[in-house]
């Protein structure tokens, strides 16, 4: 098929230029090679495609009929090849990215800004879901990659940690009496806790740690936003479990303080994940490079 396609490509160029010699020059071929290719095509089709004149060659009626179909096809192939190269060179393309709300706001925004400034022609689609849901979207091909809360165990995904984060408990001035205390996990669990909803990987990680120490957590308020965790704690509705790295501005200026624990929650990570064994698109590969270049791991 490739050999026949090359024959049609040569035929199309001769028809456009009206000359075997000019076609040979533009195709970087010898004139005899062009003549042989046209002769082979004519033999296969059983018709004559060109008539020689003093000024070059002109299409026969059969040649005109063939040209009406071949020319648009060759142009489509040329345009297709150009678009592939444009995509490879990040002149066009798509980036389908999955991320959670908190990571999107506190980690991803500067990376998205940098990527968009460098490659403004790439269309970015962002889907917000939980970590487990994003893993399934990668496997179904609905997104190219995701930036997620770890840990996530899935052998079909390549997962690379990119930043360490630490879960802490914060409170407002209503609980200022706790500032000088070091609390046990059991004491923390007895406070009016405000946490993300139970589908959150962050919430699950903290619960698993407490449970491993024989302590259960039963929050009084469950929220879907990290910002709301901070705001609710600030106005005294309870003690919120938040990510330290995403709460520093609040802790500096919003009347919040971090509770000191006798046994701190171990650090965890956020990471970028993609489908194992599948080469990422040029846009996805470049975005991963941007993230890893500023990784704090």
**288 neighbors 145 (Cβ within 8 angstroms):** yes
Question: Residue 148 is encoded by which pair of tokens?
Answer: 């997620």
Mean pLDDT, residues 95-114: 87
Q: What is the CA radius of gyration of the chain?
A: 31
- CA angle, 157 then 161 then 163, to 5°: 150
Residue 46 backbone zone (phi > 0: left; psi -120 to 50: alpha; other: beta): left
Going from the C-alpha of 176 to that of each of 55, 179, 260, the distances in angstroms are 96, 5, 12
Q: Which has the closest alpha carbon to 239: 165, 176, 172?
A: 172
pLDDT (0 to 100) of residue 296: 60
Please report which helix (H) or strand (E) contains residue 63, including its range: helix 61-88
Q: How far is the C-alpha of 203 from the C-alpha of 209, rounded, in Å? A: 10
Q: Which of 20-24, 75-79, 206-210 ranks highest by mean pLDDT? A: 206-210
Q: What one-character-per-residue DSSP string does 165-193 give?
A: E-EEEEE-GGGGGGTT-EE-HHHHHTS-E
**258 neighbors 131 (Cβ within 8 angstroms):** no
Question: Residue 232 is encoded by which pair of tokens?
Answer: 């609710």
The crossing angle, in degrees rounded to 10, of helices 282-293 and 61-88 is 10
Q: Which has the closest alpha carbon to 162: 248, 275, 281, 274?
A: 274
Question: Residue 61 is encoded by which pair of tokens?
Answer: 């009626």
Q: How far is the C-alpha of 179 from the C-alpha of 12, rounded, in Å? A: 81
pLDDT (0 to 100) of residue 54: 83
> Could you read off the pLDDT of 35-69 as tens digits, one per residue?
999 999 889 889 999 998 888 899 999 999 999 99
**Above 50 in pLDDT, residue 2?**
no
Mean pLDDT of the chain: 88
Q: What one-character-per-residue DSSP string does 217-264 give?
A: ---SEEES-HHHHHHHHHTTS-EEEEEGGGTHHHHHHSS-EEPEESSP
**194 neighbors 238 (Cβ within 8 angstroms):** yes
Q: Which has the closest alpha carbon to 267: 184, 174, 150, 182?
A: 150
pLDDT (0 to 100) of residue 292: 85
Mean pLDDT, residues 273-283: 87
**What are the beta bridge partners of residue 182?**
260
> Could you read off the pLDDT of 215-269 as tens digits, one per residue?
999 999 999 889 999 999 999 999 999 999 999 888 887 789 999 999 999 999 9
**Above 90 in pLDDT, residue 293?**
no
Q: CB neighbours of 127 closer than 8 A, spacing ≥ 6? A: 96, 97, 98, 99, 134, 137, 142, 143
């Amino acid at each position: 098929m490739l050999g026949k396609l090359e024959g049609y490509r040569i035929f199309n160029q001769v028809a456009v230029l009206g000359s075997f010699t000019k076609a040979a020059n533009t195709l970087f071929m010898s004139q005899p090679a062009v003549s042989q290719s046209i002769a082979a095509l004519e033999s296969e089709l059983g018709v004559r495609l060109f008539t020689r004149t003093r000024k070059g060659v002109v299409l026969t009626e059969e040649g005109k009929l063939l040209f009406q179909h071949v020319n648009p096809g060759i142009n489509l192939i040329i345009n297709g090849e150009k678009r592939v190269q444009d995509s490879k060179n990040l002149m066009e393309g798509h980036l389908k990215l999955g991320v959670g709300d908190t990571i999107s706001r506190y980690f991803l925004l500067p990376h998205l800004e940098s990527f968009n400034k460098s490659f403004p022609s790439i269309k970015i689609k962002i889907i917000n879901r939980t970590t487990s849901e994003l893993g399934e979207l990668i496997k179904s091909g609905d997104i190219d990659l995701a930036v997620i809360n770890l840990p996530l165990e899935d052998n079909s995904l390549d997962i690379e940690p990119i930043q360490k984060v630490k879960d802490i408990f914060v409170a407002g001035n209503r609980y200022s009496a706790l500032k000088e205390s070091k609390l046990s996990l059991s004491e923390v669990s007895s406070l009016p806790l405000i946490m993300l909803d139970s589908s959150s990987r962050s919430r699950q990680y903290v619960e698993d740690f407490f449970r491993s120490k024989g302590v259960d957590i039963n929050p009084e308020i469950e929220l879907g936003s990290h910002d709301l965790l901070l705001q609710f704690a600030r106005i005294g509705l309870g003690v919120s479990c938040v990510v330290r790295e995403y709460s520093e501005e609040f802790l500096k200026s919003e009347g919040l303080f971090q509770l000191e624990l006798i046994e701190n929650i171990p650090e965890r990570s956020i990471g970028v994940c993609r489908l194992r064994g599948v080469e990422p698109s040029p846009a996805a590969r470049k975005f991963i490079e941007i993230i890893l270049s500023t990784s704090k791991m």
